[in-house]
Amino acid sequence: MATKMSGSPAGVRDRHKDLKFILLIAVTCISIVPTTLLAILSYYQYRNLLQEEQNQFLKVYANNVRQMLSPQLLLSLNPKSVLKKEISVEKTLENDTASPYLSPQILYDACVVDDLGDLLTASRFFTTEDRENLRKIITAPSRPIEKFQTFRGEKLWLTAQHLQLHNMTLLVARQAPVATWFRFQFKLVAIYCACTAIGLLLIHQLITILTRKLRESDIQRMKIFSDIAHTHRLTTLGTLAAGVAHEINNPLASLHQRAGLLLDIFDMNKDFPQRDKVLKTTENMIEHISRCQIITHQLLVLSQEKPSVGEQTSIENIISELLVFFQAEAEQRHIVFETNFDKQLPNAHGAEDKIQQVLLTIITNAMTALEENGIIRITTKTKDSDYIKINIEDNGRGIPPNTLKHIYDPFFTTKDTGEGTGLGLAIANALIKSLGGEITIESTPEKGTLFSIILLKHIPDENTNN
């Protein structure tokens, strides 16, 4: 059977459809087959039993009838006198009390036929037209035949006894106990059908549930694997990035010092042609080296997941200091900062520098989103009793949903090449997570963006106990 090797949910669904189908067929066969066999067996068993009893009874009855037949009676029989003589059944039945089949509704009959198959006595069941059939019977005497259909298609139990001396055959017939028989058959079939139907329904339900659970657990497992693979890829990337950063750091440090040395040398030599240009070039080189060093440091920060040192920090102070830092640029671009600090502001359980870096990144992004004219609103409040929430809201150009999906991905940036590393938010997210907190973003394109940082509150009592 061709199996799709895809790991997608669609692939899983197909595989499970096949599985469900197979299971249904298998379980149905396994459960229905024995049931059917059982039903068939019991049917035949019962029929045979019935037959046996019938035949037994009939034999006994036939014997009794035979004994009733006197030679004189037999001698007087001839085809022409058929209607005049009739063998009485009632007399025989009088003697028989133990039979379970004694019932006034059931017809008995006894008659005598000659060797040609002609009736010699009257019969309730047989007519002279049954000649052929009667001939068939008398050729095999003393053997009970069942299901000899005659007399308006009714089933008869029949036994034949050959009367040697007179070349005649005694036929004893009994109407088959249709009611009982049919009732039994009907009951059996009804029970069988009902059980089968219920059984099939149950099987179907069970298997549906089973395969559904299987499918869910399969999808779950695949999702976990893909998550693990993803995390692994990120970890590998992080390790790789860290390795690269580490390696590059050393030559960068040398470059930095060498460039600085160049400046020192130029300083010492007072004047020479192109001095300004040379100085400018060297300073430019130092700038670029510094930028590289910032990037490598960002990479190294991103790759480390060590727990933070718990220091008591005042969020208020961190924010206020940062706003001072942005003051000049904000004034130039007509951006207004609004702050609203919760009076109950406790100290945050976290590292000062990490929170500062996160806030720096977010405020920088907010300022980039605003370009000219706008408001950046920073509010703090204590959420529940264990958390602090810092909201940074701007009315800038917002973040479209497609970008929002990838916003924490390392190296994802919507800025031009050289403008941003795409690491800012990735690092911010990693830092906040390492503090046990969370960042959430709400954004409407053209309306604005709201960053919410949720941090653990450091409970002062704990500290004093320490």
Partner 1 sequence: MKIQIIDDEVDFAEALAERLEIRGHSVKISHSGATGIASVNAELPDVVLLDINMPDITGIEVLEGLTLTHPTLPVMMLTGHAYSSHKEEALAKGARECLTKPIELAQLLEKIAAL
In this structure, are residues 267 and 213 in contact, taking their beta carbons and an 8 Å threshold? no
Residue 335 or residue 351: which is nearer to partner 1 going by CB? 351
Compute the least distance from the CB of residue 429 to partner 1, in Å.
18
Amino acid letter for position 449: T
Residue 31 or residue 308: which is nearer to partner 1 going by CB? 308
In this structure, are residues 453 and 439 in contact, taking their beta carbons and an 8 Å threshold? yes
Restricted to residues 278-307, the positions that interact with partner 1 (CB under 8 A) are 289-290, 293, 297, 300-301, 304, 306
Restricted to residues 250-269, the positions that interact with partner 1 (CB under 8 A) are 250-254, 256-258, 260-261, 264-265, 268
The strand ranges marked E within 398-447 are: 438-444
Tallying the residues shown for the chain, one arrives at 466
Q: By CB under 8 A, tell whether 45 contacts partner 1.
A: no
In this structure, are residues 110 and 85 in contact, taking their beta carbons and an 8 Å threshold? no
In this structure, are residues 346 and 380 in contact, taking their beta carbons and an 8 Å threshold? no
Residue 312 or residue 440: which is nearer to partner 1 going by CB? 312
Compute the least distance from the CB of residue 232 to partner 1, in Å.
23
Residue 304 or residue 463: which is nearer to partner 1 going by CB? 304
What is the rounded distance in angstroms from the CA atom of residue 392 to the CA atom of residue 451?
A: 5
Q: By CB under 8 A, tell whether 189 contacts partner 1.
A: no
Instruction: Give the Cβ contact number of residue 125 at 10 Å.
Output: 20
CA 3 to chain centre: 18
Compute the least distance from the CB of residue 391 to partner 1, in Å.
28
Out of 223, 246, 275, 288, the residue judged to bind partner 1 by CB under 8 A: 246
What is the rounded distance in angstroms from the CA atom of residue 458 to the CA atom of residue 436?
A: 12
Restricted to residues 372-431, the positions that interact with partner 1 (CB under 8 A) are none
Q: Quickly tell me which residue has 């298998």 as its tokens.
A: 26
In this structure, are residues 402 and 418 in contact, taking their beta carbons and an 8 Å threshold? no
Residue 169 or residue 361: which is nearer to partner 1 going by CB? 361
Amino acid letter for position 318: I
Q: How far is CA 172 from CA 66, 92, 113, 146, 300, in A?
A: 10, 12, 11, 12, 109
Compute the least distance from the CB of residue 311 to partner 1, in Å.
11
Residue 278 or residue 323: which is nearer to partner 1 going by CB? 278
> Binding-site residue total for partner 1 (CB under 8 A)?
24
- Interface pattern 195-214 for partner 1 (x via CB under 8 A): --------------------
In this structure, are residues 244 and 299 in contact, taking their beta carbons and an 8 Å threshold? yes
Residue 286 or residue 441: which is nearer to partner 1 going by CB? 286
What is the rounded distance in angstroms from the CA atom of residue 88 to the CA atom of residue 95?
A: 13
In this structure, are residues 319 and 359 in contact, taking their beta carbons and an 8 Å threshold? yes
Residue 58 or residue 427: which is nearer to partner 1 going by CB? 427
Q: Quickly tell me which residue has 């690491």 as its tokens.
A: 423
Q: Give the interface with partner 1 as residue ranges (CB under 8 A).
A: 246, 249-254, 256-258, 260-261, 264-265, 268, 289-290, 293, 297, 300-301, 304, 306, 309
